[in-house]
Structure 1
Amino acid sequence: MKAYFCIIDLIIMKHFLFLLLFPILGFCQPNLNEVDVFFQEKQFKQAEVFIINYLEVNPNNLEAIELLGDAFGHQKKWNESIESYKKLVEANQDNANYYYKYGGALGMKALQNKFKAIGLIGDIKSSFLKAAELDEKHIDVRWALVELYMQLPGIFGGSKSKSLQYAKELENLSRVDGYLAKGYIYEYDNNPELAEKYYKMAIQEGGSLVCFDKLTKLYENESEPEKAIKNIEEANDKHPRNALHYQIGKVAAEYNIELEKGEQCLLTYLKKYSPEDGVPKAWANYRLAQIHMHKNNKNEALKYIDLAIAELPKIKPFKEEKEKILNL
């Protein structure tokens, strides 16, 4: 849906056999398909070495060069990633995805070095525009352009109208993406009413967890926790996920509302917890400590904050919360 890379907003692209394979790489040509294992296991350094070895035998293999750029990107080696993607663009100037990845890597470099960012903006923009020109159905690059034009200052070519233009193109390709893009634009432009309208339209059209999450975050940013909780509950009705129990508890704890509901949701989250839920149990215990602090239950609050600290002892907010509880 959203772009892997854009100048402001980063969502990085999406791996045990290497040590076994390494001794034989010098004796036989590696099979490029084997690199998939390293990516699946997020072993990006091993993927890098594997692909470099492959390229020694097949220096002009564009698929391998692209995979090497991806491996560098996962490791945030943006200069090396840029070099790989630039080779692709030079080798095939009709491939939209090559321009998209090249512009994205340039954007990530700009984020790392704000002093060089101004000098990179032109290449970032031209790469994305070329990708959009080459592929009229490229959704990711249109998302990148929506965000780029909204977040760039006007002096550097930022333009709400151009952002809306690419949101309209997205809508023609995918109504959900178009509605989400318009919601993003109006949220960024401090127009929460229109942002809410389009996020709701995205929910009605597609109804994915992503759509619900965008609306939830808008309500949280606008300090409307009641609406946020109601929206999370509607999301959970359609897409039951244990992680949504944590989200309800988090909002309840942060805004001191619906504390009983928040407590029960957090207890449910802990009871059903698995690593796939994403948020460590320590944070659920932290939110329970907050809820009991709101209730002036000092002993219960201390119990839960101590559980949180025991699991993740270096988290600063946990220690700060304990100080607040001790001062009750």
Structure 2
Amino acid sequence: MTLIHKIRKTWLYILFFALNFLLVSASAQTSSAVTMSKGNHLYQQAQQAEEDKQYEKALEYIEQAEILTSNNSEIYLLHAKIFSKLINNASIFSIRGYFVGMRENLEKVLQLTPNHIKAKHLLVDLYMMLPGFLGGDKERAQILADQLHKQDPIEGNIANANIHIQEESYSAAIHLLQTSIALAPQRLKIQIDLAELLSKVGENVEAMSLYLSLSGYIQNMESMDDNASQQLSIVLWEISALALQEKNYFIEAESAMTTYIKLHNSDDKKLGRGYMRLADIYLSQDKSDFAKTLLNNAKTIINNKKTIDKINNKLKSI
């Protein structure tokens, strides 16, 4: 065999191996892309099932998605969220597993995305709330709060305020939330949290003042997105709750619930709740005719038998 033939043969071997490597690599990339696509599709199915409150089905989808796409922190975040929803109706035998599942999935989020703010906040709350045998750890909660403060002082204040609330150090929590509001007045959720805390510690005048201010601010926005709409819904409901608790502010409460009813005109469940709450406000002022009309309106759109029985009993007592 001549030198030229040897060189040609060597290059043919090199070309063969190079082509084989490229084909295998391309096949692996295609397989990986297909797997990732399936994982993303399952993630979307889990999201939809969670939104539809089909939590068991959502759990099945998200567990399959994790197998196919194990490096996506949002998958683990959704998994934790699904566990949190399952806890609401869980038996005493399964609730422990759900809490542990929440914690472990949130910890996986931080393994993949160490600066994930939402996961850190949720873990701070869990570490403070859970007993030690389920993974509760006040020291780890404080470490995460300190990390959040380095990332963003406002986030750190919020996390530390939640730690103080769990420890019933309410004055310190109020101070931190007030400091955060001064730094970021556009963060309406912080103001809602402060109003709820003020109400919890009996500072109802201050709480009502803040709720009314928030209600006016949100309603005067040039455009209201879904988040602002949800925040307004919370504020309006809390105004009515505080009015009933204090047996005062009925004019403000009537206005709040009238707005709440308009806001949820296409949501029968919330609309029914709005009718019932406004009826309670009227009953507190001995306006029974208005209350009867609202309760009967609620009956026409509510499907829950227990709630309908409750309405009927209230109507009989008027």
The TM-score by the shorter chain falls in which range? 0.5 to 0.7
Distance 1:103 1:160 in 2: 20
Per chain length, whose mean CA-contact separation is higher, i.e. which structure has more relative contact order (CA < 8 Å, sep 6+)? 1
The 3-state SS of whatever aligns with 1:288 is helix
- The equivalent position to 2:289 in structure 1, one of 299, 317, 324, is 299
RMSD of equivalent CA atoms: 3.8
Once the two structures are TM-superposed, the CA of residue 68 in structure 1 deviates from its matched residue by 0.8
**Maintained 8 Å contact 1:176/1:202:** yes
Residue 299 of structure 2 is aligned to residue 320 of structure 1: no
Moved more, 272-281 or 166-175: 272-281
Once the two structures are TM-superposed, the CA of residue 145 in structure 1 deviates from its matched residue by 1.9
The 3-state SS of whatever aligns with 1:201 is helix
Deviations 1:255-309 (A, max 9, x none): 4221222223333544x54548997333333222212222223323223322222
Distance 2:236 2:84 in 1: 36
After TM superposition, the structure 1 = structure 2 runs for residues 95-106 of structure 1, keeping only pairs within 5 Å, are: 96-97=73-74, 100=77
- The equivalent position to 1:186 in structure 2, one of 164, 179, 182, is 164
Deviations 1:204-246 (A, max 9, x none): 3333232222223334444544333211112124322663445
Aligned to 2:243: 252
**Maintained 8 Å contact 2:244/2:281:** yes
Task: Give unmatched runs, 5+ long, in structure 1.
Answer: 1-56
Distance 1:215 1:140 in 2: 19
- Percent of aligned pairs with the same amino acid: 18
Aligned to 1:209: 188
Q: Flag the structure with higher helix content.
A: 2
The 3-state SS of whatever aligns with 1:213 is helix
Residue 124 of structure 2 is aligned to residue 146 of structure 1: yes
Once the two structures are TM-superposed, the CA of residue 324 in structure 1 deviates from its matched residue by 4.3
Deviations 1:73-126 (A, max 9, x none): 54223144123213322xx5xx65555556666777777575456567777655
Distance 1:110 1:299 in 2: 40
Once the two structures are TM-superposed, the CA of residue 322 in structure 1 deviates from its matched residue by 5.5
Distance 1:210 1:278 in 2: 26
Distance 1:288 1:61 in 2: 52
Aligned to 2:138: 160
The structure that has the greater radius of gyration is 2
Once the two structures are TM-superposed, the CA of residue 169 in structure 1 deviates from its matched residue by 1.6
Q: TM-score, normalised by structure 2?
A: 0.67
Distance 2:218 2:204 in 1: 20
Q: TM-score, normalised by structure 1?
A: 0.65
- The equivalent position to 2:68 in structure 1, one of 79, 87, 95, is 87
Distance 1:286 1:122 in 2: 38
The 3-state SS of whatever aligns with 1:61 is helix
Moved more, 159-168 or 192-201: 192-201
Q: Which amino acid aligns with 1:257?
A: N
After TM superposition, the structure 1 = structure 2 runs for residues 1-328 of structure 1, keeping only pairs within 5 Å, are: 60-75=34-49, 76=55, 77=57, 78-89=59-70, 92=71, 96-97=73-74, 100=77, 112=90, 115=93, 125=103, 127-207=105-185, 208-240=187-219, 243=233, 244-270=235-261, 272-273=262-263, 275=265, 280-312=270-302, 314=304, 316=306, 319-320=309-310, 323-324=313-314, 326-327=316-317
Call closer, same or farther: CA 1:171–1:278 in 2, change over 3 Å: farther
The 3-state SS of whatever aligns with 2:63 is helix
**Maintained 8 Å contact 1:179/1:198:** yes
**Maintained 8 Å contact 1:309/1:315:** no
The aligned length equals 268
